[in-house]
Amino acid sequence: MNVSKDLLYTESHEWVKVEGDKAYVGLSDFAQHALGDIVFVELPEVDAELSAGDSFAAVESVKAASDVYIPVSGTVVEINEAVVDDPSLLNQDAYENWMICVTLNDKSELDGLMNAEAYETHCNNQ
């Protein structure tokens, strides 16, 4: 399992990368591995308003569909169409291939997230 050092993580296996007032959100390597071959990705529309805890996307393996949750509130400013066109990109490199980029409405929401070290421990306990 690969845990990227500079990212923040959720218990439900999403990662967040903060860049100024924006945040990129994706799925962790642990999650892509647990899902297996990802064959379908559904992303929200640009301009969608999301609240922390919302399910913002669905990723589907051959076997099952899973929701992906956003840990921060914000407006979708960009989506990564590449992962919709080729969902296996999430299997190939879960950190390079972000899913959406949102404005950060409330930076204090980041306080509840785990750093890489805490997340690694979390995964090892699963």
Partner 1 sequence: MENVKKTALFGAHEKAGGKVIDFAGWALPVQYEGIIPEHEAVRNAAGLFDVSHMGEVDVKGPQAFDFVQNLVTNDVSVMQDNQVLYALMCYPDGGVVDDLLVYKFDNNHFYLVINASNVDKDYQWMVDNKGSYNVELSNISSQVSEVALQGPKAQEILQKLTDTNLDDIKFFFCKRDVKVAGVSCLISRTGYTGEDGFEIYASNNEIETVWNKIMEAGKDLGLKACGLGCRDTLRFEATLPLYGNEISKDITPLEAGLGIFVKLNKENFIGRDALVKQKEAGLKRKTVGFEMIDKAIPRHGYEVSAEGKVIGIVTTGYMSPTLKKNIGLALIDAAYTELGTKLDIIVRNKPMKAEVISKKFLTKNYKK
Footprint of partner 1 on this chain (CB under 8 A)?
36-37, 39-40, 42, 58, 60-65
Distance CA 84, CA 101 (A): 15
Distance CA 39, CA 76 (A): 23
- Minimum CB distance to partner 1, residue 2 (Å): 18
**CA atoms lying within 13 Å on the CB side of residue 31:** 23
The smaller minimum CB distance to partner 1, of residues 4 and 60, is found at 60
> Residue 61: how many CB atoms within 10 A of its CB?
17
- Minimum CB distance to partner 1, residue 83 (Å): 14
- Minimum CB distance to partner 1, residue 39 (Å): 5
At 79, which amino acid appears?
Answer: I
